[in-house]
Amino acid sequence: MVNEYRSRMNQLIKNNLLGIKELSLEEIELIFETADNFKDVINRPIKKVPSLREVTIANIFFENSTRTQLSFELAEKRLSADVVNFSSSISSVKKGETLLDTVNNILSMKVDMIVIRHSSPGAPHFLAKHVNSKIVNAGDGTHEHPTQALLDTYSIRERLGSIEGKKVVIVGDILHSRVALSNIFALQKLGAEVMVCGPATLLPKYISALGVKVELDIRKALNWCDAANILRIQLERQRRSYFPSLREYSLYYGVNKEMINALDKEIIILHPGPINRGVEITSSVADADNALILDQVENGVAIRMAVLYLLASKLE
C-alpha cells in the first residue's frame, strides 16, 4: 500500500522546506528515495550531476554554522548550481537593513533559491510569505532544523532498516534545541516512539503534549530505546543557569561506555554535532561502531541534494 503511494508521488506538495511539521509522510519518503540516488552519486569517482546548472542558490546565514553551511554548499555544487554565500557578520545587516530588504536585494540579482539560517524562530516562514522564491530553512532559532531531522531519521532508517515501531530517545538540551523539535516531528510521522531525556530544567514544560515520553534518568532512557540522539548543551542560547556546572551535567547525563556496556542490547548513537567530547558524550562512545555520527554527516549532503533538487523542479 505504502509502496503504491510512493511510486505515485513524484513531486513535493510544498514549495518551501520550512519545517518537518508541514511535511507529509509521503513527502518525507520521497525525499529519502531521492536521497538514496544522490548518495550513490556522491560515492562515485565523479561526484557531480548537472541537474541544477541553471539555478542560483544563496546561502544566507545570520547565525554561525560550519557543518550545515558546508553541507548545503557541497550539495549545491554537486548538483552544479551556482552558489553565493552570505553571512551576517560581513553584511549590511550590521548597517541596519531589514531581513526582507536584504533578501529582496539578493533576489534582484537573479537568485532562484534561498537557504536561510536565522536566530529568530519563524524567519524562514516570514520570508516564504513575502518573497517569491524557494526557501529552505537551515535552522530558525529554537524552532526547527528540518534537514537535520531528515538526515538523522534517514541515518536511522539506513542502519535499522526502517523507523516504524522503533524507539528513539533524544537526550540533552531539549529546551534550546531546534534539532529536537524537528526530530520529534519526523520520527513521529515515520511511526517511531519518541522519548526525551535530560535535566528537568532543560525540558520544555509542555513537551509531553507533543506525545513524547519524558524520562529524567538517562540509564532508564537508554535501556528503553533502539537509538539515542545525543544533543549538545547550547550554552550560547542559555540566558541563565539551567544546571550548576557542565561537569555536573556530564556526571549525570554524559553518555559513557560503562552505560552502554550495561545495556542488555545494542543501541545506535546519533549526534548532530558539534560534539563536546567528555561533556554529553565520551570519546569511546562517539567513536564506536554503533555511532552513526559520520554517517549522519555523509547522509546530510545526500539529503540536502534531494531537498534542493525536488524544490528546484518547482521553479518557474
Position 44 contacts another protein (CB under 8 A)? yes
Identify which of residues 6 and 237 has a Cβ nearer to another protein in the complex. Answer: 6
Position 43 contacts another protein (CB under 8 A)? no
What is the DSSP-derived secondary structure letter of residue 65?
-
Position 37 contacts another protein (CB under 8 A)? yes
d(CA 136, CA 308): 8
Position 203 contacts another protein (CB under 8 A)? no
Q: Which of 5, 24, 40, 201 binds another protein (CB under 8 A)?
A: 40
Binding span for another protein by CB under 8 A among 5-13, 92-100, 257-265, 287-295: 5-13
Identify which of residues 30 and 230 has a Cβ nearer to another protein in the complex. Answer: 30
For 17, the grid coordinates are: 522546506
Position 33 contacts another protein (CB under 8 A)? yes
Position 92 contacts another protein (CB under 8 A)? no
- Note whether 195 and 168 are within 8 A (CB): yes
Position 96 contacts another protein (CB under 8 A)? no
Position 315 contacts another protein (CB under 8 A)? yes
Position 105 contacts another protein (CB under 8 A)? no
H helix runs in the chain, sequence order: 2-8, 25-42, 67-78, 99-108, 123-130, 146-160, 178-189, 218-224, 246-253, 257-261, 283-286, 293-312
Identify which of residues 48 and 257 has a Cβ nearer to another protein in the complex. Answer: 48
d(CA 137, CA 185): 15
Q: Which of 1, 50, 244, 265 binds another protein (CB under 8 A)?
A: 50
Least separation in angstroms between residue 313's CB and another protein is 4
Q: Which of 2, 13, 24, 48 binds another protein (CB under 8 A)?
A: 48
Position 110 contacts another protein (CB under 8 A)? no
Which value, in Å, is the radius of gyration of the alpha carbons in the chain?
19
Helix (H, G, I), strand (E, B) or coil at 85: strand
What is the DSSP-derived secondary structure letter of residue 233?
P
Least separation in angstroms between residue 130's CB and another protein is 24
Position 274 contacts another protein (CB under 8 A)? no
Position 10 contacts another protein (CB under 8 A)? yes
Identify which of residues 80 and 91 has a Cβ nearer to another protein in the complex. Answer: 80
Identify which of residues 49 and 93 has a Cβ nearer to another protein in the complex. Answer: 49
Candidates 195, 200, 259; CA nearest to 227 is: 195
121-128 contact pairs (CB < 8 A, 24+): 123/62, 123/99, 124/16, 124/18, 125/18, 125/19, 126/99, 126/100, 127/99, 127/100, 127/103, 128/15, 128/16, 128/18
Could you list the residues that contact another protein (CB under 8 A)? 7, 10-11, 33-34, 37, 40-41, 44-46, 48-52, 54, 309-310, 312-313, 315
